[in-house]
Amino acid sequence: MAASARLQKELEIQSKKILATTKDPLERLRAACLARGAQGIKGLSILFRIMDDDRNRKLSLDEFGKGVEEYGLNFSKTEISELFRLIDVDQSGSVDYEEFLRKLRPAMNNFRLDLIARAFAKLDKNHDGQITIEDLRGVYDVRKHPKYLNGEWSQDQVLRHFLDCFDYGKHKDGVVTREEFVDYYAGVSASIDNDMYFDLMMRNSWKI
């Protein structure tokens, strides 16, 4: 399921420690995002899509700089230029979303990536690469949710609330893509040092 409050707090604490000590621009950007919780990286990627003025799925240095500033990150122009250079691996003069996410996601080993893929596959019942309310029916049990029990929410409202945990801010569309699912658990993974604990969390959450 979504990260617990304890994991979110640990992620915030760890990220703030990194922010206070690291001089590496990319590590600082990653930590600044994760200090906002497991959804932080997705939040910045959504903002970058919005800042993509010409809708070519790529960001110029100016668009990139505006995105960093709009997200509220206190980076100098020199740091933004250095970040852009680090992310623009092919030195094309622009950054596409795939380059950005590959660089920004905390590194995960194949063991963790496999667990995330298995969890996604269990939820994606029709195998179309995204999770919707229809996919969750029969997989996510709403009967123990307090707002369902007291009659405040319907089954669909509980399921939609669950999906929103993997979305960010105002940009919630009720659809969780594979990329969004991985982004979310990359943030969660950053707060968990031990592979076995990550394995236990994923297995308990998704019964995989």
Q: What is the spatial distance between Cα 86 and Cα 13, in angstroms, rounded to a whole number?
A: 26
Range of the domain at 85: 5-104
| Statement: the pTM of the whole predicted model exceeds 0.75 | no
pLDDT at 3 over 70: no
100 and 132 in a common domain = no
pLDDT in tens, 75-87: 888 988 988 888 8
pLDDT in tens, 116-166: 999 999 999 889 999 999 998 878 888 888 888 899 999 999 888 888 888
CATH (domain of 159): 1.10.238.10
Domains held by the chain: number = 2
Note whether 122 and 145 are same-domain residues: yes
Tell me the two tokens of residue 186: 């990359």
Query: Six-digit token pair at 202?
Result: 């994923």
2-to-38, 181, 194 alpha-carbon distances in Å: 9, 10, 18
In 71-154, which ranges are continuous DSSP H helix? Answer: 77-87, 97-104, 110-123, 133-136, 146-149
61 Cβ partners below 8 Å, 6+ apart? Answer: 80, 81, 84, 93
